[in-house]
């Protein structure tokens, strides 16, 4: 069983959190919601789901987790400017563990400076940012590059979830 951190803040894309989170739990893994602070309520931008942070970003260590999932929407913008979030993602990457981001999720990877020399995809609106961060951008439903898994939009969720579960097994 893997322990998976879901990085979350207000304004995340509802299905990009709910579907991978539910799939990870259904596969028997532990899913932990890491927010900007413990107990913070994180609401989806469409209002269909909300979650409470199990732990704050300043309290987590890479050694305690096997993977990180970063849903898209507006949340990655709030997450990427938090030093504790960026430190955590850098440490998880240094350990070679899975980091999966969909839609705007790769914004956190950009701020953690972990895309250089990797292949990646994202929501088209941040495509140039992904390229400028040193990634070889691919317009594909899911891109797996070493320990990173990236996808573009909610329609890519089945492929995104499939690759996350494959990496965890």
Task: Please identify every residue annotated as catalytic.
Answer: 103-104
Angle at 152 between CA 158 and CA 47, to 5 degrees: 75
Note the Cα 21 to chain centre separation in Å: 11
In order of 13, 108, 132, 141, 149, the CA distances from 168 in angstroms are 23, 21, 29, 19, 12
Residue with tokens 């799939």: 23
The residues near 26 (Cβ < 8 Å, ≥ 6 apart) are: none
């Amino acid at each position: 069983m893997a322990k998976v951190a879901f990085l979350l803040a207000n304004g995340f894309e509802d299905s990009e959190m709910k579907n991978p989170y539910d799939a990870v739990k259904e596969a028997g893994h532990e899913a932990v919601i890491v927010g900007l602070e413990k107990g913070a309520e994180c609401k989806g931008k469409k209002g269909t789901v909300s979650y409470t942070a199990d732990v704050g970003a300043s309290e987590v260590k890479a050694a305690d987790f096997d993977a990180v999932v970063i849903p898209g929407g507006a949340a990655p913008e709030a997450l990427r400017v938090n030093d504790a979030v960026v430190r955590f993602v850098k440490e998880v990457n240094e350990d070679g563990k899975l980091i999966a981001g969909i839609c705007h999720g790769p914004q956190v990877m950009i701020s953690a400076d972990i895309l250089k020399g990797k292949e990646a995809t994202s929501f088209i609106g941040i495509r140039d940012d992904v390229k400028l961060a040193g990634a070889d951008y691919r317009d594909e439903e899911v891109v797996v590059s070493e320990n990173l898994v990236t996808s573009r939009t909610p329609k890519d969720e089945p492929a995104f979830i499939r690759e996350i579960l494959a990496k965890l097994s």
